[in-house]
Structure 1
């Protein structure tokens, strides 16, 4: 089996690494992980086991060059894949170069599954042609794994689900980041609320600013808004709120654990969402979550302890913050992320076995070719 994800930043490489590690724990599976050689997770202190690192792109210019020269790269990719010859390949999160990988895997007779995190682009998110390339990839695979009912419904509306291309349901397991050791006795101060992630309009930054401004004047709270995004009026409004600190910067993976350790709770005031990698990290860290009930968040947080779900409007969000403040500010027991990923891997394999058709005859023949040798005028298996 091959698991691949060629992104450099964000949740995609971590999702692929966690999935590959969980699949390796299943008996009878030989799993190869392919990540971008320059992925942030590969350059950290504890990089994942990656048997097939690849060089992809560093910026938009190099990406366009890669896309233009993709046909010439196909033979070299086939040479990398030939020793593996996977029966099954899983794209852990679609990216711009995945059509090249899909073409190579099809020539080797592998069956393909794509894990779809987002079926529609969010405002200001992604890269040009992202969804067009993703839909083209989805039309060339055998199965689509959706991370929420919200995404599954969108895939059906896009007519990407059919009798030939089945839908597989998969929940997003928690992301476990290493949290620094908590010093004896937390420093005195108000309860700490964290917003973390890309600072984009659909994340509800304006809702958060209005909700905090609507809190009673005597409310004591410390809020950190940490992430990277363009300057906008909502960020300026947040920076002007009492008790709020805005840190507009890219946060390396090595710092995420420290942010979660600082917080007493995590807030997701999104206007729209399919599911959330930040929520997955907060759940693994045992942090209560305040979130709007939009997209797939309600489903993802249905089993989260002390989750407060709000409507996507400032008044409801302010009430949710107050409800959390009135609850004792204690962190929950951390989830066993490893076990959650193993359960997700088991569910994924069951779904794949039920959904994927039998291998076409051409694929079976292609996979047998490297095992045949010409001896005395006859093909004989070694």
Structure 2
């Protein structure tokens, strides 16, 4: 059986998730898996770039995107010819991206069915991606299988009318994403280090995090690092003014992420809404503690995970959770070695088998 696994986004967690998924499927005997990523994907830069047989030219900026959309009909012919040459039995979109219609229209023209991994069933509050979600809805409508990463997303898809005759909605999960070896928590010998990492958008709860930090007594030993790309906000300004808080308002490149996680002892997710979290998947694999709010699919993703705790999405509850984290991390420092990275390969292998079982009868 020949599979094509694609994602044409350049930055963020999409290329890494796609690479891990393609590798897990490729380890199944009898499967021939081809990987397609955006030619400008960060993960393909440098000498350690993974093998990728199909690097699709995409865009670097808004003007480049407009040009790609204008030349779409010409490009689709090239993509169709490539599909006809490779002739996969099935294609899987590992994460939606803006130029996916180029692939899905070519797949329909070539008579090749496709499935989609659905990370979000709707735009989050404050996101300027409603147009993208609308395009994603059209792609989901024509997919033979929709793979949801949490029950939260699965339920939303079914409420939207997906999963009718000729289409399946199958619930998966988000496996941990390992970035290699790193020192165990508290190996640095200083006060606990807490990390907020990701997009700096309103629904991510930066205002809640700022208020929570203001509730914590100054003698509680902790360092907080806030790192990510996004617009300025009142919550971010309050955090920037606090002692013991370091704010890095910038894009974090792919090559920087392992060192960022290695610096941290715990990752804080003060979200007001979430489908699931790629940052949590990285933190779990790295053996870092996690404090997250009980919203969306986070309770399901973190259920039973050692070192993970949940709290209500309020400043008071987050403050209590942060204080408890410092206690837990101080205890971890007294243990021999503390917690370190975990092996996530079995989790990815199990998910790949579940996906294959959903595809085979089709």
User: TM range, normalised to the smaller chain?
Assistant: over 0.9
Query: Residue in 1 aligned with 2:332?
Result: 329
Summarize the Cα distance change of 1:124–1:43 in structure 2 as closer, same or farther, 3 Å threshold.
Answer: farther
Task: Judge conservation of contact 2:181–2:341 (CA < 8 Å) in 1.
Answer: no
Write out per-residue CA displacement over residues 100-156 of structure 1, whole angstroms, 9 at most, x where no aligned residue. Answer: 211211222212101000111113435461111000111111110000111111111
Aligned partner of 1:346 among 337, 347, 353: 353
Query: Residue in 2 aligned with 1:298?
Result: 299
Aligned partner of 2:37 among 35, 38, 61: 35
Query: Residue in 2 aligned with 1:115?
Result: 117
Aligned partner of 1:162 among 159, 164, 182: 164
Query: Residue in 1 aligned with 2:228?
Result: 227
Report the 3-state secondary structure (helix = DSSP H, G, I; strand = E; otherwise coil) of the residue aligned with 1:32.
Answer: strand
Write out per-residue CA displacement over residues 35-78 of structure 1, whole angstroms, 9 at most, x where no aligned residue. Answer: 00100011144222211111011112221222222122121111
Task: Judge conservation of contact 2:176–2:284 (CA < 8 Å) in 1.
Answer: yes
Residue 266 (structure 1) aligned with residue 273 (structure 2)? no
Give the 4+ runs in structure 1 shifted more than 6 A: none
Query: Residue in 2 aligned with 1:361?
Result: none
Report the 3-state secondary structure (helix = DSSP H, G, I; strand = E; otherwise coil) of the residue aligned with 1:129.
Answer: helix
Moved more, 270-279 or 303-312: 303-312
CA distance in 1, matches of 2:93, 2:188: 44
Please state how far the C-alpha of 1:182 moved relative to its aligned partner: 7.4
Q: Gapped runs of 5+ residues in structure 1? A: 357-382
Report the 3-state secondary structure (helix = DSSP H, G, I; strand = E; otherwise coil) of the residue aligned with 1:274.
Answer: coil
CA distance in 2, matches of 1:206, 1:67: 37
Q: How is 1:1-382 mapped onto 2 (pairs within 5 angstroms)?
A: 1-125=3-127, 127=129, 129-179=131-181, 186-327=187-328, 328-330=331-333, 331-353=338-360, 356=362
Task: Judge conservation of contact 1:202–1:270 (CA < 8 Å) in 2.
Answer: yes
Write out per-residue CA displacement over residues 156-184 of structure 1, whole angstroms, 9 at most, x where no aligned residue. Answer: 1211221221101111111111355679x
CA distance in 1, matches of 2:205, 2:47: 33
Which structure has the bigger radius of gyration?
A: 1
Summarize the Cα distance change of 1:206–1:329 in structure 2 as closer, same or farther, 3 Å threshold.
Answer: farther
For these two proteins, the number of residue pairs brought into alignment is 354
Summarize the Cα distance change of 1:152–1:44 in structure 2 as closer, same or farther, 3 Å threshold.
Answer: farther
